[in-house]
Amino acid sequence: MTAIPNRKLKVFLCHSSEDKPAVRELYARLNAEGWIDPWLDEEKLYPGQDWDREIEMGNKT
């Protein structure tokens, strides 16, 4: 039997500005699961970062 790597499910949360409150709640719930790695701009990006580059890099890890 082949061992399955212990990797988290990556979830990119794409949303519009008016959906931000609901998406924040969803992010918190997904993050609390422990086996899910949600990506939300305001949690994963820092001021001045190139968001296009960071999103692309996140898709490669």
Report domain extents, the chain: 9-60
Report the alpha-carbon distance of residue 30 to residue 32 in Å, rounded.
Answer: 5
pTM above 0.85, yes or no: no
Q: Which two tokens stand for residue 17?
A: 């500005």
Q: Residue 36 contacts by C-beta under 8 Å, 6 or more apart in sequence?
A: 8, 9, 11, 30
| pLDDT tens track for 20-54 | 999 999 999 999 999 999 999 888 888 888 878 87
Nearest to 34 by CA among 61, 14, 7: 7
Q: Residue 53 contacts by C-beta under 8 Å, 6 or more apart in sequence?
A: none
**pLDDT for position 47:** 82
